[in-house]
Amino acid sequence: MLGCAPASTVNMVKASNHMKLQMLFDLFVMLYLLALMGDRFDNYRADHYTTKSLKPASVTVKGMRMMCSKVHRFFQLTTFIKGLALCVAVSLVTFGLTGCTKKVDDTDTTINIPLRANVKGLDPINANDLYSSMVIQNIYEGLLDYHYLKRPYELKPLLAEEMPTVSPDGLTYTFKIRKGVRFHDNPAFPDGKGREITAEDFIYSWKRLADPRNASEGYWIFEDKIKGLTEWVNAIKNKTGDFDAPIEGLQAPDKHTLVIKLTQPYYQLQYVLAMPFAVVVPKEAVEKYGAEFLNNPVGTGPFMLEKPSDWIRNSKITLKRNPNWRGETYPTEGEPGDKEAGLLEDAGKPLQIADQLVFIELTEDQPRWQNFMKGNLEWVEIPNDNFDSAVKNDKIVPELAAKGIKLQISSAIEVVYTAFNMNDPILGKNKDLRRAFALASNIPVRIQRFYNGRALQAQGPIPPGLDGYDPDFKNPWGQFDREKAKEYLAKAGFPEGKGLPEFTYETLADSKSRQITEFEVQNWAAMGIKMKISTNTWPQFQEKIKNGQAQIFGLAWGADYPDAQNFLQLFYSKNVSPGPNDSGYKNPEYDKLYEASLKLPPGKERTELYKKMRDILIEDMPWIFGLHRLNYRLTHGWLRNFKYNEMTYGIYKYVRVDPKKRAELKPKL
Amino acid sequence: METHAQPNAQPNSSELSAPQSTNRRNSLWWDAYRRLKRDKVAVISFWIIVAYVIMAILAKTGLLFPDVNASVGDQYMPFSLEHPFGTDIQGRDILARAVHGSATALSVGFIASGIALIIGIALGALAGYYGGKIDALIVWLYTTVDSIPYILLIPSLTFVLGRGLVNVYIAVGVTSWVTLCRLVRGEFMKHKSRDYVLAAEALGASHARKIFRHILPNVAHIGFVQFGLGFVSAIKFEVILSYLGVGVDPTTPSWGIMLDDAKLELSRPFWGNLLAATLFMFFLVLAFNLFNDALRESLDPKLKNK
CB A279 within 8 A of CB A298: no
Q: State the complex-level ipTM.
A: 0.79
Give me the residue from A18, A61, A514 closest to B245, CB to CB: A514
* Count of helices and strands (H, E) across chain A: 20, 24
CB B201 within 8 A of CB B210: yes
If you compute the radius of gyration of chain B from its CA atoms, what whole number of angstroms results?
23
* pLDDT for the residue A10: 30
Asked if A32 and B296 come within 8 Å (Cβ–Cβ), the reply is no
CA distances from B305 to A47, A52, A559, B275 (A): 22, 18, 79, 42
Asked if B249 and A22 come within 8 Å (Cβ–Cβ), the reply is no
Burial-class residue A373 by CB neighbours within 10 Å (0-12, 13-18, 19+): buried
Closest CA to A81 of A36, A20, A31, A37: A31
* pLDDT for the residue A75: 47
Asked if B251 and A521 come within 8 Å (Cβ–Cβ), the reply is yes
Q: Which residue of B has its CA nearest to A52?
A: B302
User: Angle formed by the axes of helices A229-237 and A199-210, to 10°?
Assistant: 50
Amino acid at A250: L
Give the minimum alpha-carbon distance from B69 to chain A in angstroms, rounded to a whole number: 7
- For chain A (669 residues), the mean pLDDT of every run of 10, in chain order, is 42 42 59 51 41 39 49 50 55 50 79 92 90 94 93 91 93 94 94 93 95 88 91 92 92 94 91 94 94 93 93 93 92 89 91 94 91 94 89 90 91 91 92 94 92 90 89 91 93 90 91 91 90 87 89 91 92 85 93 91 91 93 93 93 91 94 90
Asked if A35 and B164 come within 8 Å (Cβ–Cβ), the reply is no
Give me the residue from B182, B226, B293 closest to A73, CB to CB: B293
Burial-class residue A402 by CB neighbours within 10 Å (0-12, 13-18, 19+): exposed
Q: Per residue of chain B (306 residues), what is the pLDDT tens digit?
A: 444 444 444 444 444 444 444 556 667 788 888 888 888 999 999 999 999 999 999 999 989 888 888 888 888 888 998 899 999 988 899 999 999 999 999 999 999 999 999 999 999 999 999 999 999 999 999 999 989 888 788 888 888 887 888 989 999 998 889 999 999 999 999 999 999 999 999 999 999 999 999 999 888 888 988 999 999 999 999 999 898 888 888 888 999 999 999 988 877 778 899 999 999 999 999 999 999 989 888 887 666 554
Asked if B251 and A518 come within 8 Å (Cβ–Cβ), the reply is yes
Asked if A28 and B274 come within 8 Å (Cβ–Cβ), the reply is yes
CB A228 within 8 A of CB A247: yes
Asked if A17 and B306 come within 8 Å (Cβ–Cβ), the reply is no
- Cα A57 → chain centroid: 68
Give the minimum alpha-carbon distance from A176 to chain B in angstroms, rounded to a whole number: 52
**DSSP letter, residue A11:** B
Asked if A17 and B269 come within 8 Å (Cβ–Cβ), the reply is yes
* Contacts for B293 with CB less than 8 Å, ≥ 6 apart: A69, A72, A73, A76
Closest CA to A325 of A469, A167, A114, A158: A158
Closest CA to B27 of B245, B257, B221: B221
How many other C-beta atoms can be found within 10 angstroms of the C-beta atom of residue A306?
A: 16
User: Is the entire prediction scored with pTM above 0.90?
Assistant: no
Say yes or no: B236 contacts chain A, CB-CB below 8 A: yes
Give the minimum alpha-carbon distance from B206 to chain A in angstroms, rounded to a whole number: 27
* pLDDT for the residue A60: 44
Which H/E stretch holds residue B302? Answer: none
* CA–CA distance, A577 with A582 (Å, rounded to integer): 6
Give CB contacts under 8 A, 24+ apart, made by A312-318.
Answer: A313/A118, A314/A118, A314/A361, A315/A360, A315/A361, A316/A358, A316/A359, A316/A360, A316/A361, A317/A119, A317/A135, A317/A358, A317/A359, A317/A361, A318/A356, A318/A357, A318/A358, A318/A359
* pLDDT for the residue A15: 39
Asked if A24 and B179 come within 8 Å (Cβ–Cβ), the reply is no
Q: Which residue of A has its CA nearest to B89?
A: A449
Pairing of strands A552-558, A503-508: parallel
* pLDDT for the residue A41: 42
CB A304 within 8 A of CB A322: yes
Say yes or no: B35 contacts chain A, CB-CB below 8 A: no
Give the minimum alpha-carbon distance from A54 to chain B in angstroms, rounded to a whole number: 6
Greatest extent of chain B over all pairs of C-alpha atoms, in Å: 75
Question: Which 3-state string (H, E, C) describes A487-508?
Answer: HHHHHCCCHHHCCCCCEEEEEE
Amino acid at A2: L
What is the residue-wise DSSP string for A181-237?
-BPPP-TTSTTSSPPBP-HHHHHHHHHHHH-GGG--S-GGGTTTTBTTHHHHHHHHH
Give the minimum alpha-carbon distance from A130 to chain B in angstroms, rounded to a whole number: 23
Please provide residue B284's backbone torsions phi and psi, each rounded to the nearest 5 degrees. Answer: -65, -50
Give me the residue from A53, A385, A512 closest to B9, CB to CB: A53
Q: Which residues pair with A166 in a beta bridge?
A: A173
Please provide residue B195's backbone torsions phi and psi, each rounded to the nearest 5 degrees. Answer: -60, -40
* pLDDT for the residue A215: 86
Convert A508-533 to b/e letters by CB count within 10 Å (16 or more is b): bbbbbbbbbbbbbbbbbbbbebebeb
